[in-house]
Amino acid sequence: MKPRCIQPGNGTRMQYCLAMLALIWYVFKTTIPSNGFGNRFASMIIAGNWKMNLTRQEAVALTTAVIPAASDNLGIILFPPSILIDTVRDHLASGNGNGGEGIALGGQDSHAAASGPHTGDIAAPMLREAGCTWVLLGHSERRADHGETSAMVAAKAVQAIAHDLAPMICVGESLDDRQSGRAGDVVEHQLRDSLTGVEPGACFAIAYEPIWAIGTGKTAGSDDIAQMHGHIRSVLTSINADHAGVPILYGGSVKPGNAGDIFDQQHVDGALVGGASLDADQFLSIIRSARSRA
């Protein structure tokens, strides 16, 4: 005789079904990488890096505009300033009546330590507890403004993964690097050094952002993007065959006018959008362009 609490029949069939559904959902959630999309990776990922911008009211308005764009075949990630994470999280949870389940939340940086005397920094467990499933690491502005090295990025990535955050690791060359023909070598060294200690099977993404194209209005040519993304794919595979399918996003003055051409290039799995992600109309236009190619 089965215990009455799980035995179908006698008025308990509904409870039994609900219990089984809860068990299935628990197993499903705990056996996939925690990227916030409900699968290993969406076919296209559009990430909005808000950087050091927006008031709380502006964040709510922008989140409200983005929520209806969520869909099963497209991953959307929002990287708000840390002080706005709770606001965006709560607004996504409420969905404003439209549902925000398909939109993931990420931090713009996290420390290599889980806790400690690091004034002004944020630890990976703090971001995870706040509702983040992603964290942006190694952005060129962090590398330039805070002297972050690829070794530091690697330590942060390992810590993030240990606390169930998927790092989006940024790499990219300077204008001098490209003009001197060293772009490929520079990016390869950044990749290898930034992934030191990252185990096979870890959930992460790469964002290629040519430094000379960030916030300048300049964009790498289609051939340059395709060539570099193919190079990154090759390097990832050479590091470990398990990394072959890691998403590679392009970031560098992505706008509605050039997004379609960027997404048409081989090995481009989405975009890390900066300035255009602060404008709802522009960001939604980029999302629509990605969805049509997902």
- Catalytic positions, written as ranges: 139, 209
Three-class DSSP category at 174: coil
Distances (CA, A) of 192 to 198, 237, 267, 292: 10, 11, 19, 33
Rounded to the nearest 10 degrees, how much is the dihedral formed by the CA atoms of 283, 127, 192, 50? 20
Token representation of residue 207: 């964002």
**Taking Cα atoms as reference points, which of 245, 252, 186 lies closest to residue 218?**
252
**Taking Cα atoms as reference points, which of 193, 190, 195, 196 lies closest to residue 208?**
190
Burial class (CB in 10 A: 0-12, 13-18, 19+), 190: buried
**Taking Cα atoms as reference points, which of 74, 62, 50, 66 lies closest to residue 274?**
50
Q: Are 187 and 56 in contact (CB under 8 A)?
A: no
